[in-house]
A and B are shown apart, each in its own frame.
Chain A
Amino acid sequence: MRPVLLLLGSAGAVLLSGPCAAAADAAPPSPRGQEGEALALLATAAQAVQERSWSGTEYVTRWHAGGVSSQVLDVQHHAGGTTTVRASPTTADGAEPAVDLPRAPSDGRLLTLLPGHFALAVAGRSRCAGRTTAVVEARRTDGQVAGRFWLDRDTALPLRREVYDAGGRLLRSSAYVDVDVSVPATAARSATAPAARLALADHVALRTGSPAPQPDPAAPELPGGFTRLDLPPQAGGPVSSEAYSDGLSTVSVFRQPGSLGAQQREGYLPQQAGDATVWVRAGTPEQVVWSGAGEVYTVVSDAGPEATLLAVAALPHDPAPEAGLRARLGRGLARIGSWVNPFG
């Protein structure tokens, strides 16, 4: 455990002053006219992620309503295939928890989300993991920094990322402590996306046996500038899912027929989203659940607590139960009426 703690500590220090220099050390921002150059760099980076293989050690930190958490990840990416992310340290039983992230074919339309929501600029040059990088900044309309990318000058691979909320607070930061881009390209591994989508469908179908909700015209946008992604349809099942993004963060919305049970949800706390009460589990990503219009909603979001609640408030909610003696009497009588009425 001790070497791991040392690694975490040294990696944290690295983020501040090590091989990845902060953006403040970079050259002054380029004029707005250079947005095209910034977008070209990002497009090259997206292409490089598809075509190159690499491995490295990445230090990630996430800030959320419940505090801050950091992790050291061993990342191995196969050109055109999946990215395997393995957590350090290993668990107590010696297992190495890992997850495979599929790398979808480069979709140029998704890259347009960034210039569609933010002003892009090349902020200068810096160094990360011993390599020279170009720093690309994404700023909101009020001038606040929303995200930064450190792109390797030689390979264009993103070696460091930072994402900020609308208030300018850091939401998450990830940076390679070391990286090896000489890993030979291998055949693309089978993507895990279809299996995972099937698992989601099976998961709820087994428990509810309910038909899938009818596809409806989901909102094209959620407040905060989150645009609905055009994802491939899922395998059949009772869960409907949509994803929204601004190019930096993602809000996933899942719906399933039913009602929110009365049982306690461990780790979830009630919170107000507009006029409605929802159940929130802090973290990165954050999870929010509630019921509305005969369906149960689960929102998973890495956009930060404020942006997430703003988006959640815009989705359907059941009205809060009417308080007062008359409403309570009415509910009680309706329930008795349902006992009496054989067709109720």
Chain B
Amino acid sequence: MSGHLGGELAALVDGELGHADRERALRHLAHCETCRAEVDAARRFKARLRELAGNGPAPQPELADRLLALGRAAGPIPVPPPLPVPRAASGPRSRTDPGGPGRRRRLPRTAVGGAVLALGLGAVLALGGSPRPSRTPVDPTSDVFLDEHALHAAELPLSDPAVVPADLRR
């Protein structure tokens, strides 16, 4: 296999690959550390979601709109407004020095929040990259179909041997 698993990665984690594709993907994982790490991360992500959600509802449609709005923004990811800080939690130094250590502690939170949102958006986009196969994958290219076609053509009263495949078998 050349390259990495790419779009097949999500299908592998979801157990949607056919036997042959799954074997091929697992062979690739055996020697590709990058894909192995991605598969591990995706499995952990999926397991974590199950733990959090239980039997909860599916994602709300509004979530798509909010994520879409983020994707449309050409500029940097908007920083959410700072959360109100309870007075009890703010010491005298916060009042006298608004640019002091208290503000420095909130900045990493917004950065982390933005990064999480960006990662979430990226994950959703990656997962939505290709339509999900709805049924068992099959290989429709077998030479058996050529043989059957030759039989169909031979039903014609004046059929032509030229329709027989050039690479005759049997």
Contact = CB atoms under 8 A, between A and B. Distances in A.
A92 interface: no
A294 B134 contact: yes
A107 B164 contact: no
Interface stretch (A6-14, A18-26, A95-103, A214-222): A95-103
Interface residues on B, range: 35 or more
Contacts, number: 259
B85 interface: no
Interface of A: 42, 45-46, 49, 58, 60-62, 69, 71, 73, 75, 83, 85-87, 97-104, 106-107, 110-111, 113, 149, 158, 161, 163, 172-174, 192-193, 196-197, 199-200, 203-204, 207-208, 210, 229, 231, 241, 243, 245, 247, 249-250, 252, 254, 256-263, 265, 268, 281, 283-285, 287, 289, 294, 296-298, 300-302, 321, 325-342, 344
Given A332-B126, A333-B124, A256 B140 contact: yes
A343 B169 CA distance: 48
Contacts of B149: 243, 250, 252, 285, 300-302
A67 B150 CA distance: 21
B18 A261 contact: yes
Nearest to A318: B131
Given A207-B138, A330-B128, A337-B58, A302 B169 contact: no
Q: Which of A111, A325, A332 gathers the greatest number of chain B CB atoms within 10 Å?
A: A332
Contact of A329 (B68, B146, B164): B68
Contacts of A329: 64, 67-68, 71, 124-125, 128
B130 interface: yes
A297 B141 CA distance: 10
A254 B148 contact: yes
B156 A262 contact: no
B144 interface: yes
18 contacts: A83-B154, A99-B147, A101-B154, A173-B162, A231-B155, A243-B149, A252-B152, A254-B145, A259-B137, A263-B139, A325-B72, A330-B64, A332-B126, A333-B63, A334-B128, A335-B10, A335-B14, A336-B49
